[in-house]
Amino acid sequence: MTYEFIAVERENALTIITINRPAVHNALNAAAHRELEAAFDAFEADGAQWVAILTGAGEKAFCAGHDLKQQAAGGGFETPSSGFAGLTARFGMQKPVIAAVNGAAMGGGFEAALACDLIIASERAIFALPEPRVGIAALAGGLQRLPREIGLKRAMGMLLTGRRVTAQEGFDAGFVTEVVPENVLAAARRWGEQILCCSPMSVRATKEAVLRGLSASVEEAMVAEWEYPAMKAMLASADFIEGPLAFAEKRAPRWKSHTP
């Protein structure tokens, strides 16, 4: 597929998706949403792609959120069924996604980052859900994900004021995985490479069990996880044998199960 507003690169089993609208701080219009949905659909369906990184072009912004100029011109608020950036409502995806936040992550841009499994942030990155300041609400998961990640009172301090938070404050609060002084994409690649050393079946089973377990008690989650699709696939996979065999033979594992 040919893209106008994003760029997609594949480096072995790593997919890098870049929002490419730097002139408008990578704000997303309807066409950009559709392109991101297509890119994540392709990533999810491709058994050869195990990990994705989402980032923004330029040095100023990861994603400034919804294109308010489009809305002001009567363009409405159109997002695909998979959510803002084709990601925030993609609840069933088992493959991990890393946000490489190189600048401002505002509104839906922050919500897209929160929908990722790791957030790697530049020191100059800022985060905010400023929707109440422009007569909107954070309807792409921010109202649900942020309180779960940093606690109710801290989250309400951001949600009710729309205030901006630095990368370091985000790390201290718990929604940022790592803060780096520069080259945030290189840092995200480093995290991606560490994930790629693991069995893709184990990674997907782990992600599914963690996220589905958040809405259950520890006991309920531990009982239920054996029946989760990714867990059952892992237990039946060749990787379930290859991992212990490689350990016993003192060699690097050769992961064999790459199904989506």
So which residues are the catalytic ones? 111, 131
Q: In 86-152, which ranges are E strands?
A: 97-101, 104-106, 118-122, 126-128
**What whole-number distance in Å separates Cα of residue 101 and Cα of residue 11?**
19
Which residues make Cβ contacts (< 8 Å) with residue 31, sequence separation at least 6? 4, 5
On whether the CB atoms of residues 128 and 110 are closer than 8 A, the answer is yes
Contact 63, 112 (CB under 8 A): yes
Residues 146 and 158 sit within 8 Å (Cβ to Cβ): yes
* Token representation of residue 99: 């946000």
CA distances from 224 to 90, 215, 217, 218, 228 (A): 21, 12, 10, 10, 7
Count of positions (residues) in the chain = 260
| DSSP single-letter state for residue 70 | H
Q: Which of 141, 168, 169 is nearest to 154 (CA)?
A: 169
Task: Name which of 118, 241, 121, 210 is nearest 170 in CA terms.
Answer: 121
Closest of 164, 194, 62 to residue 122, by C-alpha: 62
Query: Which residue shows structure tokens 């490489």?
Result: 100
